[in-house]
Structure 1
Amino acid sequence: MFKTYDDVMSFCKEHGIQMIDFKMIDLMGRWRHLGIPVGRFKPDTLRYGIGFDGSNYGFAPVENSDMVFIPDITTAVFDPFTEVPTLSMIGDVFVIAQPENYRFEQDPRSIAFKAEEYMKSTGIADEMRIGPEYEFYVFDHVTYENSPHRTGFSIDAEQAIWNGGENEFQNLGYKIPLKGGYHIGPPQDILYDLRSRMCVLLEENNIPVKYHHHEVGGPGQLEIEVEFGPMREMADKTMLAKYLIKNLAFQEGKTVTFMPKPLFGEAGSGMHVHMHLFKNGKPIFHDEKGYSGLSKKALNFIGGVLKHAPAVLAFTNPSTNSYKRLIPGYEAPVSVCFATANRSAVIRVPAYAKSPNQKRFEFRSADATCNPYLAYSAILMAGLDGIKRKIDPTAEGFGPYDVNLYTLSKEEQTKIKGLPKSLDEALDALEKDHEFLLAGGVFPQRLIEIWIENKRKEARRINDIPHPLEFEMYYDL
C-alpha cells in the first residue's frame, strides 16, 4: 500500500488513524498482533523494529527468545473491525545482532521469500502465480468441551436439514439436504448477502474475487475463489482473507471455521491451490501439443509435486482433522495422481483453462489449517525439484487417470499410490523426504525438526483423549 514512511504518515493524518497494529504469523499459522499509538511510529521503527518474545510464537528457545519484528509497510490496510481508527500491517521477524539485525531463517514469511529467490536462481522461472479457493463453514452456534469427565461438541446452522423438524421457533421449511448445497439458490441460500459482503470487503482490501457460491455442505459451507497473484503476496492475502471473513461473520452474529472436517457425513473444506510459472512475463506451463495443453516443464513440475506429495502434506494438511476430510466419497482427493477435469485426483488440470496465460493445474488436497507461507513454499520446492530432476509423472505411475478413480476396480486402485491417512503418516514421510525443501537454504533443517516435533505432540494429544464414539462401540464389552 505504501512505499515510504512519509506515505504512511500522510495516510494516517488524512484518515484520522490513531493506532497502528502489527500482525505476525506464528509457526502454526495463526496471526498474533501488537498495537502502538500512531505517534509512536517513527522512521527508526522501520530500521530497528519492535521487540517481542519469540518463544511464544513457537520460534526461539526461551533462553534466546528476544527478537524484533520490522513492519512491511507495503502490506498496510485499514482495519474495518476496530472502533479506534487503525492501520494494520504485517511484520517480518528479525534476530537481534550487531551491527545490524538480520532476518530470522525460521520466520514463515522469510521462507516464502527465500523460495521465490531460489526459483529465480534456478533460471526455471521468476514468478509462481497462485490462486487459492477458500472453502469454509458458517455456523450459528458452536460449543465444545474437553474435560476429564466430559468431551464433545455441538454445532447448529439455521439452514441445516436437521432443523427441518424444528417446532419451537418459526420454521419456514427451506432447508438444504445432506451434501445438497452446491450452487443452491435462495431462499435456501440464506448466506448469499453475507457472502457478497465478504467479497466486497476482500475487494476493498486489494484481494480481487473471481466468484463466490454456496458449496456442497448443506449446513452453511461456502466458497470464495480469488484471482491469481505472486506466491508470497498470496500467502499474505490468504491470512488477510481469513481475518476479514471470520471477523465479518463474527460481527454479524455468526461464526466461521476453516476446519477441513467439522461435520461427520458432510462435505469437507479444502483450499485448492491453482498454480502456474512465468519467466519474463511469459507462461512456461503451456504447450498445445502436450497432454492437456501442458508443457514438459509443467508435467515435470507435476511429477515433483506428486513424488513428494506425502511429505508436502505435512505442511499443506498439518492438522489431525485434515485427514478426516481426505477420505473417499466426498470429492476430496485420496490418490496420488493427475488428470484433466477430474476432481478425484490430487492434481487436476482444469479443462476450461486453454489459453497460454491460463494454462495451469490445481493441487486439491491442501486445506486452510496450513501456514500458507510454508504450504505454498513446499509446493513450489517440490515442483522445482521435479523440473530439475525431469521427473516424468507418467513414468512414475501417476497417470494421467482421466476416469473416476472411485469407480475403478480394487485391482486397479491398488496400483495408484494413496495419500497419507493420518498426520503421523505425513510426518513420517517428511522425516524421510525433505532434501528438496533444503535446496538453496529455503527451509532450515531446524524448522523441519521443530515442525515435526510440535505436530507429533498435537497428534498424540488427540490420540490420548477418549472419543465419544468409543463409548458407543466398547462401553458394554
Structure 2
Amino acid sequence: ENEKDHPEVAPSQFELNYKYADVINAADQIQLYKLMARQVAENMDCTACFLPKPLTDINGSGMHTNISISKKEKNIFYNKSNPKTISKEGLDFTERILGNANEICLVLNSSVNSYRRLDPNYEAPNKIKYSHSDRTSMVRLPIGNEHSTRIEVRSVAPDTNPYLLIYTLLRTGLEGEKEKKDSKKRVRTKTLPSNIYDAIRVFKSSDFTTELLGEEAKERYLELKETAANRSPKELGKTIKKSEVLYHHEITNQYLWNKF
C-alpha cells in the first residue's frame, strides 16, 4: 500500500513510500514497486532507473530502510517513559548494526556504482553513527509514537537484494557484537568504505559475515561481487563508467523484468 510519494532533490528523482509490513511482504513490495515503476515508465516511453548514482554532481538515490520490532504486539523500540528517545532495546539494536557496519556494507551497497552515492558532498549517509537529524549519519532515529517509533538505516542502496538486506539487518541488530568503546580514548566518527574493493576486503575477512551467510553462500556472493568489481576501473573518477551500467545486475535483469 502506497503511503506517499513526492519529488526529491535531483532532477526526475522521486521518493516512494509504502506502508510497513512484515519481513517477507516488505521485501516483496520492494520488488513489486520496481516492477510497476519499470512498466509505467516504459508505457510513457521513459526508463525507471534504480542505479544509486546514475549522474555525477547531483544527489544519488537511496533505499532508506525503516525497522521496528514487535513483541506481543507491542513495539519494543518505543520508549514510553521518554517518547522523544528510542528504548534501550532499540538503541542496542542500532549499536549492533553500527558495530558491524563496515562488515555488512557489501550487502547494503552491493554494486560498484553504489559507492559513488556514499559521497559526503551530497548528503550521503556515510558516517557510522546515529542521529535524529544529521543526514550524513548511517542511521536516523525518528521521533515517533507507540506505533511509528523505528530506526531508519539510510546507507542502503536501491539496487541491493531486499531479502538479503532485511535478513542481514535483523540478524546483525539482534545478534551482532557492539563496538567496544574505550572511555580514555577520544571518540572518532568512522566512515563506510568509499569503494567496493574495500567493502569486499572487509566482508571477506569478517568472521561475522561467515556466520551470517554460511561459508558456501558467502563465497558465492563474494565471487559475484569480485567479478563485477573487476570489470570496472579501481578508481571511480568523476564520470560514470560504461562498465558500471553495462554489468550492473539491475541492467542485466531488465530483460527478465520486461517479461512480466
TM-score, normalising length: structure 1: 0.47
- Identity of paired residues, percent? 28
CA offset digits 1:414-473 (Å, max 9, x no partner): 91111011111111121222436636xxx232111111111011111102799896xxxx
Answer whether contact 1:382 1:436 (CA < 8 A) is retained.
no
Asked if the contact 1:381/1:436 (under 8 Å) is kept, the reply is no
In the alignment, structure 1 segments of 5+ residues that lack a partner are 1-207, 398-411, 470-477
Aligned to 1:215: 8
* Match of residue 245 from structure 2: none
> Is the contact between residue 215 and residue 221 of structure 1 (CA under 8 Å) also seen in structure 2?
yes
Q: 1:271 aligns with which of 59, 63, 68?
A: 63
Aligned to 1:348: 140
Counterpart in the other structure of 1:360:
150
Alpha-carbon deviation of 1:343?
1.6
Give, as a single letter, the amino acid of the residue that structure 2 aligns with 1:333: P
Q: Does 1:446 align with 2:216?
A: yes
Q: How does 1:240-255 map to 2 (within 5 A)?
A: 240-255=32-47
Are 1:260 and 1:269, in contact at CA under 8 Å, matched by a contact in 2? yes
Q: Is the 8 A contact 1:271 1:366 kept in 2?
A: yes
Give the structure with the higher percent helix.
2
2:222 maps to 1:455: no
Alpha carbons of 1:426 and 1:464: their partners in 2 closer, same or farther (altered >3 Å)?
Answer: closer
SS of 2:119's equivalent?
coil
1:293, 1:332 → 2: CA distance?
A: 24
Counterpart of 1:428, as a letter, is R
1:301 to 93, 96, 103: 93
- Please give the alpha-carbon distance, in whole angstroms, between the structure 2 residues aligned to 1:468 and 1:313: 22
Partner of 1:426: 199
Q: Does 1:323 align with 2:122?
A: no
Instruction: Spell out the pairing of 1:15-414 with structure 2 (5 A cutoff).
Output: 208-218=1-11, 220-289=12-81, 292-351=84-143, 353=144, 355-386=145-176, 391=178, 396=181
- Matching residue of 1:416: 189
* Distance (whole Å) between structure 1 residues aligned to residue 235 and residue 108 of structure 2: 25
Higher relative contact order (CA 8 A, sep 6+): 2
CA distance in 1, matches of 2:221, 2:108: 13
Question: Can you list the C-alpha shifts for 1:214-266, whole angstroms capped at 9, x where unaligned?
Answer: 10002x11111111001121111111110011111111111110100011101
Task: Report the CA distance shift for 1:333/1:286 in structure 2 as closer, same or farther (over 3 A).
Answer: same
Give ranges in structure 2 of 5+ residues lacking alignment.
240-260
Distance 1:422 1:268, change over 3 A: same
Please tell me whether Structure 1 or Structure 2 has the larger radius of gyration of its CA atoms: 1
* Structure 1 residue 345 displacement after superposition: 0.6
d(CA) in 1 for partners of 2:78 and 2:30? 27
Paired residues of 2:209 and 2:218 also in contact (CA < 8 A) = no
DSSP-derived class of the 2:9 partner: coil
Give the partner amino acid of 1:366: V
> Is the alpha carbon distance of 1:273 and 1:434 closer, same or farther for their aligned partners in structure 2, counting shifts above 3 Å?
farther
Letter in 1 for 2:163: Y
AA partner of residue 451 (structure 1): Y
Tell whether the 8 Å contact from 2:196 to 2:229 is kept in structure 1 after alignment. Answer: yes
Compared CA separation, residues 297 and 466, structure 1 to 2 (3 A): closer
SS at match of 1:455: helix
Q: 1:270 to 1:464 in 2, by over 3 A?
A: closer
